[in-house]
Each structure stands twice: as structure tokens, then as C-alpha cells.
Amino acid sequence: MAPFDGKEDPAAPGGRHRPDSATENGTLRPELAEVISRHAFGLDANRPDAVEKRRLKNRRTARANVADLCDPGSFIEYGALAIAAQRNRRTLEDLICKTPADGLIAGVGAVNGAHFTEDKARSMVMAYDYTVLAGTQGHFNHKKMDRMLKLAYEQRLPLVFFGEGGGGRPGDVDAGGVVVAGLDLGTFASFARLSGHVPMVGVVSGPCFAGNAALLGCCDVIIATSSSNIGMGGPVMIEGGGLGVYTPEEIGPMDVQTENGVVDIEVADDVEAVAVAKKYLSYFQGPVSSWQAGDPLRLRDLLPESRKRAYNVCTVIEAIADTDSFLELRPKFCPSMVTGLLRIEGRAMGVIANNSMYMAGAIEAEGADKAARLMMLCNAHGLPILSLCDTPGFMVGPEVEKRAQVRHVCRMFVVGAHIAVPYFTLVLRRGYGLGVMAMAKGGFHESFFTAAWPTGEFGGMGLEGAVKAGFKKELAAVEDSQAREALFNQLVAGLYERGKAINMAAHLEIDAVIDPADTRQWILRGLKSAPARSPSDPRHAFVDPW
């Protein structure tokens, strides 16, 4: 490792040394030169081989991702001079060259500072560097992370965490004299303690196993590239446990982790991952002053005229929301329930919605978990919630009960009863039974308002099922099949007339029936009218990882 000669200063504009830092003969003072040299070894510009390996995998370096995430000139790096705790087995020069920052880039920077105030933009950023010992967790980067997590908690800094890496690092022999198993460190508890305290964004591009995955799984949202693999145990742990030999690509690929709900948002590459992380974080940074919206009259015609035809509720959400403001979470996991974040005239909200294109919008165990977690996320961080209902109720039957339906669906009632943020319920079409009550925070008089579009229809259960169950004897008494069908249709029509939205509103079981074109204005008026939550209001202390 050649010492810095003082002729080039990579920290100075244009790369030249500053005159006021030089000695009489024009060179830098040796102690300053040493510091500049040590910092320079960690820069991407001085690590071309490592950068090229990342490029060949269509991935950026950790430093490139951090630079893209943070506003220019805003990032303060902590612990940049750390190196791996391996002085007893490697030379100091080798460690400085090969293990800069001990594989963890950490600090505070501004994210989305052009759109939000300085106090809202500042964020904690931690990125494992896969070019350093495969992004593993070393003795000093644990110590660094503990320092940063304490700071994030005290300063209430949102966290963006880049989690690529292979977990614990057994090669840090310097700590061997004072550490046996190393299971008494506080990193994992300190990381988990941030849940519900500040927004937590996890980002992965590539492999993320063991300890890295344990931290990632504590985050509110996980954003992962299509080439990522995520697992609580990597190839080494699996083989060590006698469970076989696998490549990293065989463990937790995205077609598995998106469908089972582990990954919230799948993206193409690092560039998109950082862009989505910035977008996600923006919902928790405050309102935006600039927004656009589509023609509200479109909303009048989005639902099919036939009450039995399915439609994609995401189209409705996008029409209600500000243009390009809807960010869906877990789209491939239980698609009969849609969850995400959106804006109305620049104000951020969470949204849950039944999707009639899947299981007719019936609420399954997984869908209830998905909705309950969105409620917890919004409640923890102060976002109002919009519920768009079109459901025949909870899914029933012997098979669904094998998935612990009773416990899972009741999470919506329990979580809903503890929500302290404004909650708005809008029934688009079907509102039946306990399922729609769960969508409505536990009942139609629990939300700040419960309104319906004119297409709304209501009942204690689905109308056809109610007729079959309630008029079984009458129908059986009609021998002629055509006459029986005519009676059935007549009874269904009678229940529909009784349970249609305008009659529900007339009996004050819901608050209003609105023109779909007025939906955005209703929501906006609700946002302006609903009482703001005071700091003393009850809230969930954390966001359930599941």
C-alpha cells in the first residue's frame, strides 16, 4: 500500500491539494495525508476491480446506491475508517485495501430534500457492502451499526437499510480473545426497537441471508430486485445443518418471496430499487404541494353495469388517487386484498381494497393479515386509511378453516379497534356480513365516515345465499323448475331493493351515498375534518413483521 504523496487530494475540487493545507515545500502535512489516503481506499474510483464485478452482475456498489439515495452533499458518513477485525491473520495494508468501512457504509443524509423540509428529509442510511467480504456482519460493523441505531432512535430518523450480504462473519479473529459465541450483542434488538418508532425501508439487490435477512425482515417494507435471493439460512448454514447442498440462487428466489408476502415490492434493478425507496419514504415525510389528478367523471363508469361482473380495483384506486401516486404493496401475495399507499391532493394515505377479480373479493386468512398489517403501518406512522369495500364477506368452508381462518381474520377487528388515525370507508359495490364490517374498522359507525357509491348493496350475507338459506322451504315447495327460478329471482330482487345503498342511507346504517365523481372531494374533506391524533393517543408500539 503506497502512502499518499500529497500531490493529489481526492477530497479537493479538481483533485488538487488545497494550498492552506500544505507545508512550505508544497506537500500536505503527513497526518492529513494519512487521513485522506485512508478515506480514498474506500472510494469506488479507487476500487475498479470491485466496481467492475458489480457491473457484470448488473448491480451497483453500495456507495453508488447511497449516493443516489441521498441528496448531493448531504451524507455524513460515520465509521468510514473501520476495517475488519482480522489483524491477527492479515496485514494492516491488506485490510485497509480490502475491507474499507468493515463492509458497512453508515451515516445520516437528506432524502427527497427538494420536496420536504430539512427535518423531514434527514434519514439514517446503512448499506452492507457486498464487495467487502460478501457483505458479511463483522465485529466492527456490528459496533458501528449499534452506534447508528441508537442515534436513529434518539433522533427519530427514518431508516433506509441496504441488506445484501451473507450474514455472520466467522473470520474476525481479533475478537476471539473476548468473544465466545457473540450472541450477547445488541444489534438485532436495537434494530427491531425502531419498528413503529420510525419508518423502516429495506432494500435488497442480490443475496441476503442469515443475520442480514434477520434485519431485513424487521423492516416495514422490503424492496427487492428480481435477481435477489432472501433466506434466513444461506448455503453454508443449510449444508452445515445437514440439509443438503444448494446454490444461493436456489434459496428464496423472487418468484417465491413475492407470492408468499416476504417481499413487498419487486423491482428490476438497483436504480429502480433506490427510486422506489425514495418514493415509499416520501409518504411519511409530509404533504407535497405539486400534484395532478385525472378527470373525476371517469369514476362514474369504472364499475361494470352488471353487478356480477368482476373488475380490477387497482384501476379504481389509481383513478381516485393523485396521478402516479399509488404504490401497491405485496401485489402477488393474496391478490384478492389490495394494499398500498397513495396521495389525495398531495396528502398521503394508506389504502386497503377488495379485488373482485380474485376469489370474488372474499377475505381469506392471508388477505386479512395483509390488510391488518397495512392498518398497523399507517397507525404507527400517522397516515389516514381509506378502505374500499366490495366483498361477499369472509371466505368460508372446511378447507379455509385449515389455514386458521378464525384467528387470522379476527386480526382485522382487533387491529381496527385500536387504530387512532382517521379511517374512511367507501363501499363501491358489495358490502356483506362480517367481512365488510372488518373492512369498515369493525362496523359501519366506527369509521370517520362510511359512504357508498350508488352501486352499493348490503346484507348480512350474500343475497343469493340469503335467499337459498332463508327461503329453503318455500323454494322446495315449488315443483316447476322455471317457476322456482322465477320465485328465487323475485326474492333476490326484493332483498337487493331493501339492501341497496340509498335505502341503507335512508335508515342511517351508512352515512351517505355519493356521486363517484365526488369521491376525491369527500376524502379530502374528511382529511380536513378528522381530528389529528395527539402524541398521547394510543398506537401500536411496533409494526408486525408479518
Residues 89-106 have pLDDT tens digits of: 899 998 999 999 999 999
Residue type at 119? Answer: D
Residues 446-481 have pLDDT tens digits of: 999 999 999 999 987 777 777 777 788 888 888 888
Kind and range of the H or E run holding 344: strand 337-344
Q: What is the pLDDT of residue 23?
A: 57
Q: What is the pLDDT of residue 103?
A: 94
* Cβ 171 vs Cβ 86: under 8 Å: yes
- Chain centroid to Cα 526, Å, comes to 25
Q: Give the C-alpha separation, 428 to 289, whole Å.
A: 29
Q: What is the pLDDT of residue 467?
A: 77
Interaxial angle between packed helices 405-417 and 365-381, expressed in degrees from 0 to 180 and rounded to the nearest 10: 20
> DSSP label at 8?
B
Of 11, 42, 166, 45, the residue nearest 107 (C-alpha) = 42
- Residue ranges of alpha helices (H) inside 241-364 are 254-257, 270-282, 313-320
Q: Give the C-alpha separation, 260 to 270, whole Å.
A: 22
Ranges under pLDDT 70 in the chain: 1-25, 175-180, 532-540
Q: What is the pLDDT of residue 21?
A: 54
* Cβ 68 vs Cβ 205: under 8 Å: no
Kindly list the distances between the CA atom of residue 256 and the CA atoms of 69, 260, 500, 531, in Å, as whole numbers in the listed order. Answer: 28, 6, 42, 42
Of 172, 257, 173, the residue nearest 209 (C-alpha) = 257
Q: Angle 274-280-285 (CA atoms, 0-180°, nearest 5)?
A: 115
Within 8 A by CB and 6+ apart from 417, the residues are 441, 442, 446
Describe the strand order of the beta sheet including 200-204 as a list of residue ranges.
76-78, 104-110, 122-128, 159-162, 200-204, 221-225, 265-267
Of 351, 435, 339, 340, the residue nearest 386 (C-alpha) = 351
| Torsion on CA atoms 391, 397, 402, 404, rounded to nearest 10 | 40
Within 8 A by CB and 6+ apart from 30, the residues are none
Kindly list the distances between the CA atom of residue 226 and the CA atoms of 73, 253, 334, in Å, as whole numbers in the listed order. Answer: 30, 8, 19
Q: Give the C-alpha separation, 152 to 40, whole Å.
A: 27
Half-sphere exposure of 302 (CA within 13 A, CB side): 23
Q: Give the C-alpha separation, 132 to 109, whole Å.
A: 22
Q: Give the C-alpha separation, 329 to 480, whole Å.
A: 51
Of 271, 306, 297, the residue nearest 59 (C-alpha) = 271
Q: Angle 224-229-234 (CA atoms, 0-180°, nearest 5)?
A: 140
Coil/strand/helix, residue 265: strand
Return phi, psi of residue 2, to 5°: -75, 135
Q: Angle 284-287-292 (CA atoms, 0-180°, nearest 5)?
A: 120
Q: What is the pLDDT of residue 10?
A: 42
Question: Per 3-state DSSP, what percentage of the chain is helix, strand, and coil (rounded to 5)?
Answer: 40, 20, 40
* Cβ 457 vs Cβ 501: under 8 Å: yes
Q: How much is the pTM? A: 0.91
